[in-house]
Amino acid sequence: MIYHRTKHTCVRTVVDRSVINLVLKECHDIPFSGQLSEDRTRAKVKNCIWWPMWQKDVAEYCKNCDRFQKANKSTGKRLGNMVKIQRPSRPWKIVHMDWVTGLPPGGERIYHACLVIVDRFSKTPIFLPCHKDDTAMDTALLIWNRVVSWTGIFTNIISDRDPKFTSALWTNLHQSFGPKFSLYSLPPTN
């Protein structure tokens, strides 16, 4: 038997390449091992066994383990590719919209939220006081009466996936204003 010793580790048995898969199976797959994570499998191998490039082999074995991949599957929403938004040719053609909520009550009508609209061309912001429980219709009327009358109709709106912007009402508005009007739902860019 050949042993491997370094300054920081205990004595470990050196194994031949031909038995590496068997060792990894014992350290990772066997029920008594508990279907270990890559870190735990690496720690288990490190305690008693050594071969050249063993850490790479452990990572590769865990990466290819079907049960390990299913157990460690991401539960979050898959993120899409980042999309570059075109530079507008004039002010108020493309706008960003988002909500600021949880504000202390203020104003005559006791507003709790603020709709923020920012022009992508000039970076000019518009702040519209509103209520956190406003509907999609309330939001559309607020934008139409307080912004569009001053800026003209936007061709693109960039926003997160707030239900107030993704409702059937907004879909119908987009169709009414023609094919150039669209809603980008891109949280990373907003």
- Residue 184 has a pLDDT of 61
- Residue 179 has a pLDDT of 45
HEC profile for the chain? CCEECCCCCCCEEECCHHHHHHHHHHHHCCHHHCCCCHHHHHHHHHHHEECCCHHHHHHHHHHHCHHHHHHCCCCCCCCCCCCCCCCCCCCCCEEEEEEECCCCCECCCCECEEEEEEECCCCCEEEEEECCCCCHHHHHHHHHHHHHHHHCCCCEEEECCCHHHHCHHHHHHHHHCCCCCEEEECHHHC
25 has pLDDT over 70: yes
- Residue 114 has a pLDDT of 92
Report the pLDDT averaged over residues 101-128.
89
- Residue 90 has a pLDDT of 92
Q: Which CATH class is domain 94-189?
A: alpha beta
Q: Judging by beta carbons within 10 Å of its beta carbon (0-12, 13-18, 19+), is residue 151 exposed, middle or buried? A: middle
Q: What is the pLDDT of residues 46-91, one digit of tens each?
A: 877 878 888 898 888 888 877 766 666 666 666 666 667 778 899 9
Q: Which of 26-30, 73-77, 90-94, 130-134 has the highest mean pLDDT?
A: 90-94
Q: In the chain, which segments carry CATH 3.30.420.10?
A: 94-189
pTM above 0.85, yes or no: no
- Residue 70 has a pLDDT of 65
Q: Which amino acid is at 141?
A: L
18 is written with which tokens?
Answer: 């031909």
- Residue 7 has a pLDDT of 66
Give CA separation, 70 vs 29, 74, 76, 132, in Å.
14, 9, 14, 40
190 confidence band (pLDDT: 50, 70, 90) = very low
**8 A C-beta contact, residue 117 and residue 147:** yes
